[in-house]
Amino acid sequence: MTNRSFEIVDVTLRDGSHSMRHAFTKEQVRETARGLDKAGVNYFEVSHGDGLGGSSMQYGLSKVNELELIETAAAECGQAKVSVLLIPGIGTKYDLNDAVKAGAKMVRIATHVTEADVAKQHITLARELGLKTIGFLMMAHMASIEKLVEQAKLFESYGAEVVYVTDSAGALLPHEVTERITALKNELSIEIGFHGHNNLSMAMANTLAAVQAGATYIDGSLRALGAGSGNTQTEVMVAVLEKMEYNTGVDLYKILDVANDVVAKYMPRPQEVTGSSLMMGYSGVYSSFLLHTEKAAKRFNIDERDILVELGKMKAVGGQEDLIYEVAANITKKKFAVAPKP
Amino acid sequence: MTNRSFEIVDVTLRDGSHSMRHAFTKEQVRETARGLDKAGVNYFEVSHGDGLGGSSMQYGLSKVNELELIETAAAECGQAKVSVLLIPGIGTKYDLNDAVKAGAKMVRIATHVTEADVAKQHITLARELGLKTIGFLMMAHMASIEKLVEQAKLFESYGAEVVYVTDSAGALLPHEVTERITALKNELSIEIGFHGHNNLSMAMANTLAAVQAGATYIDGSLRALGAGSGNTQTEVMVAVLEKMEYNTGVDLYKILDVANDVVAKYMPRPQEVTGSSLMMGYSGVYSSFLLHTEKAAKRFNIDERDILVELGKMKAVGGQEDLIYEVAANITKKKFAVAPKP
């Protein structure tokens, strides 16, 4: 166990919350946590899909309070430890305190890739609470490598022990992951992590690229249960990395058992690359844009995919939904413009 | 169209036949063929999942005669051409003649990776019939690179215009694809193709690796519809390769439309990496072994996955199902053996 090549962090019980519409039951969490622990996974995450405090009208109400789910999971842990996700602005320092009381031993403080500075106080608190403390740079494809390094260094300076390249939209390709992880390895002295999504069917290949470039924390989800097209599939990751002769520290048959005998039975539908999740990865936009884009496309009678591609080029971020109508109007203008006379 | 970087060959209507339990209707084939043609795909395949003549008790009876399906598809073709698959031993030269009458313009003659020599007469006939003629080396992961090159050269010597590395079990990893395609590019003068499956979530990454190593024919399937965990997903391939600045010649929105508005509506279930398909890729065995292995595991009270891994190591091939019981017996013997006294 001591000489594993990296830590596999399973996020089924957090990122999977999106696919479960935040309706995880205690029984589902108990069985999944037990299976992960027995398979030899050292860290797994339990929180609302949008992190601690995410249960709300805006992000979706949790069926069961996440603190109860954290407690339930922690009770199943032998060697494994429960992680939580905290997005400053959604969750608060109070939520983190509560999570620790419920049994959390690790936290990932997540910000948009250009906004690490909002995480300083949370990182400080997490260290004070004695948690394994990780910085999580979301939508990492949206920043240049220089910007990414700068932001990761902020996390490092605040006291994070690991910093993640988080490919929230599943928009990165393997060579781009290699470049990013390599740059961080060269410029930082803390450990580097990678969290992948499958919108372009590249989650597994990106994770392998990350490991080969020196990442020592990698995320996965059983049966790929997670937002968009889902995550890197934990059990596949174990199989592939074993074939590549890495020491995962995770038992392949046992992780397959919890994936297939537990998670596959409660997931509402298989994860796949659909038209909209593919367009998310292709254009590199937030999933929260999809609904507004569909409406704007109808109103202006244009293809919603043209709007997504344009938003991606503009690097629009969450909260800029107003932009969607402006973009739609511009596309319409161009489409129906009369060519100037010669 | 003339300067596309490679040809995308869509196999939804052939490899997808496995997932459809060979129950494609004319209407499904018509709509799919129309969409592929309109999207700019130049070649797509229509046959029983196991190739021409595959409709049988052993391989599964087709609901509609494949010749009628080929005719239906051919009637929808503007620039696109219908391909067929022929596995000597399952299909015959008579089947190929009939397929040509029905409208087929391309054939892929498929053999196990070590048995290209059985294809000589079929390749000769295909060229005589004026077909675009391709050799298809199945279960390519089971041969050494030297063997693969030797077998591909046989296809070349018979008159094949393209030879494929066919990763039937989805067992290859990207660096292994790179090695194989590179070796074939160096040693042959005909074009090289790659056909990927997703059992280890690597179909897309493997396809990209193949293209980067010089493959000019690549296979995909809409919504990944195909055997095992499914194929490289055609519409994802178009998006990723466009992002990589290749000229696919295929319209992304139109290919997304046929995937989501046509294929997604008739596929019986989404394609995903399940426990058994993952074990196929991990151990590199035939899907036809799964049922026998399950039975043997029950009889000997051992884990069926141990049998699969052992069969993979032995490089067991189709037809060697007897081996399964022998392997199971040996595993039992080892498991319950009394350690010799010191």
pLDDT digits (tens, 9 = 90+) for B123-172: 999 999 999 999 999 999 999 999 999 999 999 999 999 999 999 999 99
Helix (H, G, I), strand (E, B) or coil at A91: strand
Helices (H), chain B: 16-19, 26-39, 66-75, 93-102, 120-128, 145-158, 174-187, 203-212, 234-243, 252-257, 264-266, 275-283, 289-300, 304-314, 322-336
A195 is in an annotated binding site: yes
Do B224 and A264 count as a contact with CB atoms less than 8 A apart? no
Question: Is the pLDDT reported for residue B342 higher than 70?
Answer: no
The tokens describing B18, both together, are 């496995």
- Domain end, chosen from A213, A237, A266, is at A266
Contact B222, A264 (CB under 8 A): no
Q: What SS3 string covers B209-252? A: HHHHCCCCEEEEEHHHCCCCCCECEHHHHHHHHHHCCCCCCCCH
Q: Kindly list the residues from chain B whose CB atom is less than 8 angstroms away from the CB atom of residue A303.
A: 253
Residues B225 and B329 in one domain: no
The residue among A215, A249, A214 whose CA lies nearest residue A234 is: A249
Q: Kindly list the residues from chain B whose CB atom is less than 8 angstroms away from the CB atom of residue A275.
A: 235, 256, 259-260
Q: Quick check: A173 contacting B, CB < 8 Å?
A: yes
Residues A84 and A184 in one domain: yes
Burial class of residue A5 in the structure, from the number of CB atoms within 10 Å of its CB (0-12 exposed, 13-18 middle, 19+ buried): middle
Contact A205, B205 (CB under 8 A): yes
How would residue A319 be classed by pLDDT, with cut points 50, 70 and 90?
low
Q: Kindly list the residues from chain B whose CB atom is less than 8 angstroms away from the CB atom of residue A208.
A: 173-174, 205
Closest-approach residue (CA) in chain B for A279: B239
The tokens describing B293, both together, are 């292995």
The tokens describing B104, both together, are 């087929």
Query: What percent of chain B has a predicted confidence (pLDDT) above 70?
Result: 97
Question: Is the pLDDT reported for residue B340 higher than 60?
Answer: no
The residue among A303, A314, A302 whose CA lies nearest residue A279 is: A303
- Distance (Å, whole) CA A124 – CA A120: 6
Residues B215 and B311 in one domain: no
Residues B187 and B243 in one domain: yes
What's the pLDDT at A209?
A: 98
Q: Quick check: B274 contacting A, CB < 8 Å?
A: yes
- Distance (Å, whole) CA A242 – CA A249: 10
State pLDDT tens for residues A243-282. Answer: 999 999 999 999 999 999 999 999 999 999 999 999 999 9
For the residues B60-84, what does the mean pLDDT come to?
97
Residues B132 and B193 in one domain: yes
| Angle at alpha carbon of residue B315, lines to B312 and B316, rounded to 5° | 95
How would residue B1 be classed by pLDDT, with cut points 50, 70 and 90?
very low
Question: Is the pLDDT reported for residue B40 higher than 90?
Answer: yes
How would residue A191 be classed by pLDDT, with cut points 50, 70 and 90?
very high
Question: Is the pLDDT reported for residue A303 higher than 50?
Answer: yes
Residue type, A181: I
- Distance (Å, whole) CA B112 – CA B171: 15
Does any domain span residue A1?
A: no
Cβ neighbours around A321 below 10 Å, total? 16
DSSP E strands in chain A: the ranges are 7-10, 43-45, 81-86, 104-112, 132-138, 162-166, 191-195, 217-220
What's the pLDDT at A1?
A: 43
What's the pLDDT at A126?
A: 98
Q: What is the CATH number of the domain that holds A120?
A: 3.20.20.70
Helix (H, G, I), strand (E, B) or coil at A113: coil
For the residues A99-123, what does the mean pLDDT come to?
97
The tokens describing A259, both together, are 């994936």
Chain B interface test: which of A234, A262, A278, A290 (most B C-beta within 10 Å): A278
Taking each helix axis from N to C end, the angle separating A66-75 and A26-39, rounded to the nearest 10 degrees, works out to 40
Query: What percent of chain A has a predicted confidence (pLDDT) above 90?
Result: 86
Does any domain span residue B231?
A: yes
What's the pLDDT at A340?
A: 54
Helix (H, G, I), strand (E, B) or coil at A218: strand
Do A239 and B278 count as a contact with CB atoms less than 8 A apart? yes
Does any domain span residue A278?
A: no
Integer angstrom CA distances of residue B64 from A153, B27, B69, B174, B321: 62, 11, 7, 37, 30
For the residues B46-72, what does the mean pLDDT come to?
94
Question: Is the pLDDT reported for residue A2 higher than 60?
Answer: no
The pairs formed by B155-160 with CB atoms below 8 angstroms and a separation of 24 or more are B155/B109, B155/B116, B155/B119, B155/B123, B156/B188, B156/B189, B156/B190, B158/B116, B158/B119, B158/B120, B158/B123, B158/B124, B159/B123, B159/B124, B159/B126, B159/B127, B159/B133, B160/B109, B160/B123, B160/B133, B160/B134, B160/B135, B160/B190
Helix (H, G, I), strand (E, B) or coil at A321: coil
Question: Is the pLDDT reported for residue A168 higher than 80?
Answer: yes
* Radius of gyration of chain B, Cα coordinates, nearest whole angstrom: 20
Helix (H, G, I), strand (E, B) or coil at A304: helix
Does any domain span residue A274?
A: no
Cβ neighbours around B85 below 10 Å, total? 28
> What is the pLDDT of chain B when averaged over all its residues?
94
Domain count of chain A?
Answer: 2
Does any domain span residue A342?
A: no
Higher pLDDT, A59 or A272: A272
- Distance (Å, whole) CA A35 – CA A157: 36
Q: How far B226 CA sits from the closest chain A CA (Å)?
A: 14
Question: Is the pLDDT reported for residue B287 higher than 50?
Answer: yes
* Radius of gyration of chain A, Cα coordinates, nearest whole angstrom: 20
**What range defines the domain where residue A308 resides?**
285-336
Residues A26 and A72 in one domain: yes
What's the pLDDT at A242?
A: 96
Residues B201 and B329 in one domain: no
CA A100 to chain centre: 21
Does any domain span residue B313?
A: yes
Does any domain span residue B186?
A: yes
Taking each helix axis from N to C end, the angle separating A275-283 and B234-243, rounded to the nearest 10 degrees, works out to 10
| Angle at alpha carbon of residue B237, lines to A197 and A165, rounded to 5° | 25
Does any domain span residue A279?
A: no
Closest-approach residue (CA) in chain B for A201: B204
- Distance (Å, whole) CA A303 – CA B221: 24
State pLDDT tens for residues B201-235. Answer: 999 999 999 999 999 999 999 999 999 999 999 99
For the residues A145-174, what does the mean pLDDT come to?
98
Longest dimension (CA), chain A: 77
CA atoms within 13 A on the CB side of B216: 13
Integer angstrom CA distances of residue A122 from A110, A117, A127, A159: 10, 10, 9, 10
What's the pLDDT at B69?
A: 98
For the residues A312-330, what does the mean pLDDT come to?
85
Q: Quick check: A303 contacting B, CB < 8 Å?
A: yes
Residues A312 and A261 in one domain: no
Q: Quick check: B283 contacting A, CB < 8 Å?
A: no
Residues A184 and A307 in one domain: no
For the residues A212-217, what does the mean pLDDT come to?
98
- Domain end, chosen from B237, B266, B295, is at B266
Do A174 and B270 count as a contact with CB atoms less than 8 A apart? no
- Comparing CB atoms, the residue among A201, A269, A274 nearest residue B203 is A201
- Distance (Å, whole) CA A105 – CA A128: 12
Q: What is the CATH number of the domain that holds A306?
A: 1.10.8.60
Q: Kindly list the residues from chain A whose CB atom is less than 8 angstroms away from the CB atom of residue B232.
A: 201
What's the pLDDT at B59?
A: 86
Query: What percent of chain B has a predicted confidence (pLDDT) above 90?
Result: 87
How would residue A225 be classed by pLDDT, with cut points 50, 70 and 90?
very high
> What is the pLDDT of chain A when averaged over all its residues?
94
Residues A231 and A293 in one domain: no
Residues A192 and A62 in one domain: yes
CB pairs under 8 A between A and B: 107
The residue among B310, B289, B32, B294 whose CA lies nearest residue B169 is: B289
Q: How many residues does chain A have?
A: 342
Closest-approach residue (CA) in chain A for B229: A272
The residue among A54, A68, A73, A72 whose CA lies nearest residue A15 is: A54
Residues A44 and A17 in one domain: yes
Chain B interface test: which of A172, A272, A307, A331 (most B C-beta within 10 Å): A272
Q: How far B239 CA sits from the closest chain A CA (Å)?
A: 6
- Domain end, chosen from B214, B239, B266, is at B266
Q: How far B256 CA sits from the closest chain A CA (Å)?
A: 6
Check the CA dihedral A101-A102-A105-A108 and report its sign: negative
What's the pLDDT at A341?
A: 55
Is B18 in the active site? yes
